[in-house]
Amino acid sequence: MEEPTSPVVKSLADVEFVFFDLDDCLYQNDYRTERILTEQIGNVMKSRLNMEKHLAKALYLEHGTTIRGLLNTKKVKPGKELMDIVQEFHDVDLSDVKPAKGLRDMIQKVKKRRFIFTASIREHAEKCLERLGIADLFENIIDAHACKYYSKHSDQAFRTAMNIAGVKHAHQC
């Protein structure tokens, strides 16, 4: 598999796979959901881990994701506790997640294999996609758990996404 850092797409005909970001991309609500998630993460860190809320942002900045930061700093261990915390991070109100006019038609015009590639967990993505009425348009959801909580902006996460989707060469997506 090629390194995904700088794929060169010579023609859109080469593209066979499309990764769609979810939060604040397939829907827009002035980043309300991001703010709610950020607040929830801070609250959970305070209540479950006895950590100051502001450390969530520091962990995110240093490690690419707050969860990866919690793992790297040994604040949580992989396993049930981690899964429970991650679920609780995403237990938020999604009533502001609404489809934009024409969203479904626009996505259907993309005649390639379509995947969601998200920094959130599968359950959060599924709830959002259902609210948007587009869950059936994607082949799979590649979530934070699948990428071992590395930032979706990292080469490691992108290689994982490519592997899950069956991409052989970076220029194909």
- How many angstroms separate the CA atoms of 142 and 158, rounded? 10
Q: What is the pLDDT of residue 10?
A: 63
pTM for this one? 0.88
- How many angstroms separate the CA atoms of 43 and 118, rounded? 22
Q: What is the pLDDT of residue 24?
A: 86
Token pair 């989707």: residue: 165
Q: What is the pLDDT of residue 170?
A: 86
- How many CA atoms lie less than 13 Å away from 159 in the CB half-sphere? 10
Q: What is the pLDDT of residue 50?
A: 95
- How many CA atoms lie less than 13 Å away from 81 in the CB half-sphere? 10
pLDDT along the chain (173 residues), means of 10: 54 86 90 93 95 92 93 93 94 93 95 95 96 97 94 91 92 85
Task: Give the amino acid at 65.
Answer: T
Q: What is the pLDDT of residue 12?
A: 73
Q: What is the pLDDT of residue 2?
A: 47
